[in-house]
Amino acid sequence: MKIIIVGCGKVGYALAEQLSEENHDITMIDTDSDKLEKALAILDIQGIEGNGTSFRVQLEAGIKEGDLLIAVTGKDEVNLLCCLIAKKAGNCNTVARVRNPEYFAEVNYLREMLGLSMVINPEFACAQGIARLIEVPSALDIFTFAKGRINLLKLSVPDNSVLHSMTVYEFATKIHSNILICAIERGHEVIIPDGNTVLQQGDNMYVIIPPKEIHSLLSKIGIKAKPIKSVIIIGGGTTAYYLARHLESNRVQVKLIEMNRKRCEELSELLPHTLIINGDATDRQLLLEEGISDADAFVSLTNMDEENLLLSLFANKVSDAKIITKVDKVSFEEVVEELPIGTIACPKNITAKGILQYVRALRNSYGSNVETLYRMLDDKVEALEFIIKQESKVTNTPLMDLNLKKNLLICAIVRNGKVITPSGKDTILNGDTVVIVTTNKGLTDIKDILA
């Protein structure tokens, strides 16, 4: 597809990088020539220096022939205007990043009036992801498929677990037959397992599981699943507001620490059931006085990555809380991942992945059937949800008889609302939803699973 991206910031660059890898024709627009030059020097894309709200600039970028315009500048108004002009000029699909809660509250109206195909709010999406992790505290990460019928959970194999030295086949026979281990992270190694793969303590395993089975699994493998009743949030930005609002609705006790007094007053009105504390979260004594040692979860969401990292390291030292750390700018991933800072939340990556899912789904009209896409393990693994819309080489044939690509696992089949953990005798039928996990990149059609 021909895709125009307006805005060469962190999100715009990440999108251009991933979409160009999938052989899309990418043109990037930005007023900052230095950012454009850096992107053009590294990525296989075209660039135009100019204002994305300019009709002339959009024409130069090829909006008349474009399939999609994505506006991800730092200003909501610019993004919305870019999409409006693109819709009038080229009648293409449009995606806008909208961060202001006031605008986002009117998202349905904006989508209808401006003809937007998709509106994404990084802070709201990030808060949703964090909320899911708080609801399932033992999970390191959670992805959802089939309209919530299936979860893909990232779990750590604890020390002295019954899973240590157990094969994947033994897991299915002794622990749970309806749960499938579909990927294993061991150090920097990624394994797409077969029945003979042996689990080890310290592994991070990704399991496909229906939501109702989660607590049963955790109990059987010795992972404590204490519900989270109290949360300390550091920082009073938009992500913190969305998260606190969600936790309030679930009757979780929330303390929010923010340094700016005026912002504290605003949040006090917006969040009537959250305790808003005006103070410096880097003050060790303040954190101890506010009960960091007894909190069930600690979420650091300031605008400074370095501060978030430091605070989470301290929380890890003085408490047993589930820790979630926002990291959006620090680029030393291999160093950060080794730190005991719990789960990392990255709005930049969440935004890029959300838009990438939409782009994959948009291909449906071009003959593809990808409904959902997640990238995991530093983008080494993809989890995809396919909607089977017609019969093909993969349908009506037992899975054992399909010549599948290496490092690819068919993890789940949903048929008439029922989740099937597939065996070699099962078949894929027209109308099914199928979840695939693989290290092979760029699958766009269910037929791509064949070697």
Q: CATH code at 282? A: 3.40.50.720
The better pLDDT of the pair 410, 148 is held by 410
Give the DSSP H or E segment for 373. Answer: strand 370-376
The better pLDDT of the pair 83, 365 is held by 83
Statement to judge: residues 207 and 111 lie in one domain:
no
Q: How many CB atoms lie within 10 A of CB 146?
A: 20
Q: How many domains does the chain have?
A: 4
Phi, psi of 390 (to 5 degrees): -160, 160
Statement to judge: residues 15 and 78 lie in one domain:
yes
Q: What is the pLDDT of residue 55?
A: 94
- 40 in a domain, yes or no? yes
Give the pLDDT band of residue 242 (cuts 50, 70, 90): very high
Q: What is the pLDDT of residue 334?
A: 66
Statement to judge: residues 335 and 389 lie in one domain:
no
Statement to judge: residues 426 and 378 lie in one domain:
yes
Segment of 94-108, 305-319, 321-335 carrying the highest mean pLDDT: 305-319
**CA–CA separation, 86 and 388 (whole Å):** 32
Provide CB contacts within 8 A for 25, sequence distance 6+. 1, 2, 3
The better pLDDT of the pair 239, 214 is held by 239
Which one of 86, 120, 154 terminates a domain? 120
Which one of 72, 91, 120 terminates a domain? 120
Reply yes or no on whether the pLDDT at 401 is more than 60.
yes
Give the pLDDT band of residue 365 (cuts 50, 70, 90): very low
**CA–CA separation, 286 and 276 (whole Å):** 13
Domain range enclosing 311:
230-345
Q: What is the pLDDT of residue 187?
A: 84
- 141 in a domain, yes or no? yes
Q: What is the pLDDT of residue 34?
A: 94
Reply yes or no on whether the pLDDT at 241 is more than 90.
yes
Reply yes or no on whether the pLDDT at 367 is more than 50.
no
Statement to judge: residues 269 and 291 lie in one domain:
yes
Is residue 429 within 8 Å of 395, Cβ to Cβ?
yes
Which one of 102, 120, 138 terminates a domain? 120
Mean pLDDT of the chain: 89
Segment of 235-239, 417-421, 444-448 carrying the highest mean pLDDT: 235-239
Q: What is the pLDDT of residue 174?
A: 86
Find the range with the poorest average confidence among 60-74, 196-210, 327-341, 371-385: 327-341
**CA–CA separation, 327 and 305 (whole Å):** 5
Statement to judge: residues 21 and 101 lie in one domain:
yes
Statement to judge: residues 249 and 312 lie in one domain:
yes
- 351 in a domain, yes or no? no
- 355 in a domain, yes or no? no
Give the DSSP H or E segment for 233. Answer: strand 230-234
Strands (E), 50-140: 68-71, 93-97, 118-120
The better pLDDT of the pair 337, 75 is held by 75
Amino acid at 107: V
- 357 in a domain, yes or no? no
Q: What is the CATH number of the domain that holds 424?
A: 3.30.70.1450
- 225 in a domain, yes or no? no
Q: What average pLDDT does the segment 160-187 reach?
A: 88
